[in-house]
Structure 1
Amino acid sequence: MSIAPDTVSTSRAIGVETVGMTKAFGNLVALDDVSIRVTPGSFHALLGENGAGKSTLVKCMMGFYQPTSGTMLVNESEVGVPNPRAAHALGIGMVYQHFTLVPSLTAAENLVIARADAPRVIDWKAERRALSAFLETTPFKVPLDVPVSGLSAGEKQKLEILKQLYLDQRFLILDEPTSVLTPDEADEVLGLLRGMTEAGDLTILMITHKFREVTAYADDVTVLRRGRVVGGGRVRDLSVDDMSRMMIGETEIRESAERASHRQPALKLELAGLFADDDEELPAIEAVSLKIHAGEILGIAGVSGNGQSELIEVLSGQRLLKDGRIFIDKKPYEPERGQMDTFKVFGFSEEPLKNVAVPRMSVAENMAFRTFDKAPISPFKGWLSPPPMRRQARALIAAYRVKTPSTEEPIENLSGGNVQRAILARELSGDVDILIVANPCFGLDFASVAEIRAQIMDQRNNGAAILLVSEDLDEILELADTVAVMSEGKITYQSPMVETDRATIGHAMAGHH
């Protein structure tokens, strides 16, 4: 039973309100008359797609930006926040998406040096006594004398939150706080914070894109779209569909096709005992063995940094294989352009401008990377014919609904979702036997996510063997037929999806198997 935020009598938590907050960068209005009220002792979720204004809003609240117009209230009194130090003085702190701790220092050292009044000569015996007493007042427990580099992701996130509590911040802004956590760690951290809001010790404003976390932990939600507040209310009164509709407006969302069944599918892709090193020549993947059949999506789950990116680099020919073999249709396979063509191997990954596109080249040129040396684009060796290249691009742009001013626009000028659609069009326009994808929907808008997942399902239903690496467990639960968990470079768990569940996969991701 949660305590209604307005009835907390001995609350240390503070309330924060923005009134008509507007922020313009030149002609771009990033925030347009945003009023949001976060009551003391509440857990408030802030939803919105990339570019909706969430980050701009919290940066104005923290004093990183000065609003063009509008005001901010703390406990119903108007305040000025000229810089982050002023925000901290008001009791407002922020836990960022990426850790801000010093890895070589212990948890205790990180906490003490974060204080504005940290002495030049530190009496560590006295400080440790004070820290131990402080920890007794919080539900968060972390080892004080272990270097941060030796802590788990969950312990680091707890330490980031502890640092804010230690600095007496009573209104915490959390920016995607669970993005590097296993499901178990995420539930533990959010559960502890929820308990502190219910006790009246803390107020939370959380930026998230995970509806499961909103429905499980938040009291209230505010939804931003294109810099404006478009909806919100008590979470218990809203469905996930209500919230997603507020986020996307009238945008058409593509539904995935039903999952087709395949009788006695052939083995298409086999990874046999793969070993590879990372950039420091330390083991990155060890003895990775997987089999994927025609019409099957095998999803690899895992927290970032457990060898997934090195595995994708090996399979795309960007990293040397130290040992092991890759087979397609039981024949040896080397990931280079000629064999990719022969075996019909295609793929795409997160941040395509960094990985699989040339930013300054045109949309048409990027779409022709697979076909530039074949007729009709290359009617004879060493000669490129632009008209067929543009015709091909126009057809793909129409088929995959890529929004671009023209085929000749540099691909770097497109939005993230449209860059990914353009690469998707290139990679799926041929006859696909093997598809290798990594975090394909990372940072994309709702409509693009739905489109890309539907395209992946279409390829599966058409008989392609698909390896899907994703840090988004919901994506794997939605798409995969088989799930494998990667931890410390090894496959530590594998199961047909119908024989497992979120909790079991989450435990495996956390190292319990």
Structure 2
Amino acid sequence: MTALASTAPHPSVRTSMSGDGRPPSHRPSMALEVIGLSKSFGHHRVLEAIDLRVREGSVHALLGENGAGKSTLVKCIVGQHRPDQGAILLHDHEHLIQGPRDAHALGIGMVYQHFTLAPNLSVLENLVLPRNDLPLRLHWPAERLRLQAMLAQMPFTTDLDAPVSSLTVGEKQKVEILKQLCLGRQILILDEPTSVLTPTEADEVLRTLRQLARDQRLTVIMITHKMREVFTYCDEVTVLRAGHALPTRAIDSVDVATLSRDMIGDRTVTEARTRAAMPSAAARLRIRGLQADNARGLPALRGIDLSVSPGEILGVAGVSGNGQKQLVEVLSGQSRATAGTILVDDAPYTARRAEMMRHRFHCLPEEPLRNACVPDMSVAENLAFRDFDRPAMTWGGFLLRPRRIAQWARDRIHRFGIRAPSPRAPIASLSGGNVQRVVLAREVTEDVAILVAANPCFGLDFASVAQIHARLVEARNRGAAVLLVSEDLDELLQLSDRIVVMFDGQIVHACSAADADRHEIGQRMVGQ
């Protein structure tokens, strides 16, 4: 039997109560403590003797590279995983959490990166139905009155009768949070809570959560990769590195460089190069009146006009679902336009492989394992997709040369820091960050002339993001025309020369990055 399953206190649990049963006056009240928690999957040790203390009424950031153990740790806290050993304490009392129902009963909730709302139900139904104590027959008028009374005490509200499918992304995120608050959660774990929000929505949500924490109504643990959010809204930070927890620090005692070193250790982070001044030149990529439908046959692009010049990064901002996906699919040949023209160096372009090779047109698509790789094929084979039929890779233009392909792959693996057991390993066995590095090594080559990158850093850790940003700037400085489609406005402001905003399949705003106003862009992203 594991230590966690024992009813006796865990050996490493400190004596946290004074003789009269009160917490010692010198010790701040802890909403949550994790002591000596370890977890393995098979022979792979994911967490090693983790200690974590989260003060009541605080916003606590949890940082680390992909694979550091953040998700496994919070899943142990919310009961989705059973730790091999260790103890979990809430307000100085040890608890055995065997599943999500136990966590919910103890007041622990989680808001995931992707929404868990039922889109065809109303907000009211989404707030009521997750309760553990649902009666056999619901009295909806009483439920409405109960929720209205609760919402009156909340810092933001919502239309209880609105179908979830009619809400904006920001409104859905607020409903997710309201659901947890209405269910009585006192500890709320957030997994990348602002990844789908506009800057204005992100600030509103995080400001609200911080105020709830200040009012001692909530304790928040937030997994994020966005340093601006950490330093603006969090009180303390704990970094996980390779399954170990580093000592918790107060936010005002650290800086970005310190946290970066904590996350990656002695490894060197690729520094993004300064954007070199580039002479003005005629556009290399021109799009005029582009129209396209989505998978349901409904209009997704409604007359897109844009152009990208050599040595320029054009950033495309927008909330997910406003046509960015269809724009990338048309440019990469995954779907067809219904109207409009695409010109590359003033020549018509229809995204066929021969044209992409001739024009040196490369693409970093969203979800690379699904959109840019064959999961069961090896790392070397996926790296060779663009070049497998070139003379250097074949005998007589027909027979592949496996040794040459493997040698070429090993060089790319080394240059781009890809962590793979061998070039023969299936690419599906790699982490998300390493899959992205494989596609990066294949697409961001020295001879790229046009590069389309769609959310290239989504869900990646600090080191991976820094490497990808550096490669994009290098391509731009070599004279490539780069179209960067991203839902991360900080990324666009950092990398772009110009920014356009897409809403409802149209370009609704354009500006230089130097003149960009974060608030105005956020408003344009939601159609205001």
Q: Shorter-normalised TM-score: what interval?
A: over 0.9
Per the TM alignment, residue 277 of structure 1 is displaced from its structure 2 partner at its CA by 0.6
C-alpha deviation, 1:236, in angstroms = 1.4
C-alpha distance in structure 2 between counterparts of 1:69 and 1:429, whole Å = 47
Match of 2:178 among 162, 185, 196: 162
| TM-fit CA distance, 1:48 | 1.3
Code of the residue aligned with 2:475 in structure 1: it is: Q
Q: Secondary structure at the match of 2:494?
A: helix
Match of residue 290 from structure 1: 306
**Taking structure 1 as the reference length, what is the TM-score of the superposition?**
0.93
For the residue of structure 2 that corresponds to 1:18, the secondary structure is strand
d(CA) in 2 for partners of 1:404 and 1:478? 30
Q: What is the alpha-carbon distance in structure 1 between the residues aligned to residue 513 and residue 450 of structure 2?
A: 20
CA contact (8 A) 1:254 1:450 kept: yes
The residue that corresponds to 1:27 in the other structure is: 43
Structure 1 distance, partners of 2:423, 2:189, is 42
Gaps of 5+ in 2: 1-22
Superimposed CA distance per residue, residues 356-400 of structure 1 (whole angstroms, 9 cap, x where no aligned partner): 122222333222222222212234343333343334333333433
What is the deviation of 1:511? 2.2
* Partner in structure 1 of residue 294 of structure 2: 278
1:268 aligned partner: 284
2 CA distance for matches of 1:202 and 1:385? 61
1:197-346 matches, cutoff 5 A = 197-346=213-362
- Provide the rounded CA distance (Å) in 2 between the counterparts of 1:464 and 1:84: 49
CA–CA separation in structure 2 for the residues paired with 1:298 and 1:95: 33
How far is the alpha carbon of 1:321 from its aligned partner?
A: 0.8
Partner of 2:121: 105
What SS does the corresponding residue of 1:267 show, helix, strand or coil? coil
The residue type paired with residue 135 of structure 2 is P
CA–CA separation in structure 2 for the residues paired with 1:352 and 1:200: 42
AA aligned opposite 1:336: R
2:505 to 482, 485, 489: 489
CA distance in 1 between partners of 2:348 and 2:243 (Å): 53
Report if aligned partners of 2:30, 2:55 keep a CA contact under 8 Å in 1: yes
The whole-number CA distance in structure 2 between the counterparts of 1:68 and 1:203 is 26
Partner residue, 2:192: 176
Unaligned segments of structure 1, at least 5 residues: 1-6
| 2:494 is the counterpart of 1:507 | no
| Corresponding position of 2:406 | 390
Alignment-mate amino acid for residue 29 of structure 1: R
Q: Tell me, yes or no, if structure 1 residue 135 matches structure 2 residue 151.
A: yes
Look up the SS of the partner of 1:30 in the other structure.
strand
Q: TM-score, structure 2 length as denominator?
A: 0.91
The Cα of 1:403 is off from its aligned counterpart by 3.6
Tell whether 2:208 aligns with 1:192.
yes
The 8 Å contact of residues 231 and 246 in structure 1, kept in 2 or not, is answered as no
Whole-angstrom CA distance in 1 between matches of 2:73 and 2:289: 49
Q: Please give the alpha-carbon distance, in whole angstroms, between the structure 2 residues aligned to 1:54 and 1:371.
A: 38
The residue number in structure 2 matching 1:16 is: 32
Which deviations, in whole Å up to 9, do the C-alpha atoms of 1:315-355 show, x marking residues without a partner? 01110110000001112111001111111111222332211
In structure 2, C-alpha distance between the alignment counterparts of 1:293 and 1:259, rounded to whole Å: 15
More displaced stretch, 412-421 vs 464-473: 412-421
Give the CA deviation at 1:14. 7.3
Bigger mean CA offset, 437-446 vs 393-402? 393-402
Q: Equivalent residue for 1:348?
A: 364
Q: 1:146 aligns with which of 162, 167, 188?
A: 162
**Counterpart Cα distance in 2 of 1:208 and 1:304:** 19
Which of 365, 371, 378 does residue 381 from structure 2 map onto? 365
Alignment of 1:63-82 (within 5 A): 63-82=79-98
Cα drift, residue 46 of structure 1: 1.1
Indicate whether 1:410 and 2:426 are aligned: yes
How far apart are the structure 1 equivalents of 2:236 and 2:407? Answer: 50
Residues 244-263 of structure 1, C-alpha deviations (whole Å, 9 max, x = no match):
22111111111122211122
Deviation at 1:444, TM superposition (A): 2.8
Shift of 1:219: 1.1
Alignment-mate amino acid for residue 246 of structure 1: D
Q: Which amino acid aligns with 2:223?
A: I
Letter in 2 for 1:261: A
The structural deviation recorded for 1:445 is 3.3
Kindly, what percent of the aligned residue pairs are identical? 51
8 Å CA contact retained: 1:224, 1:231? no
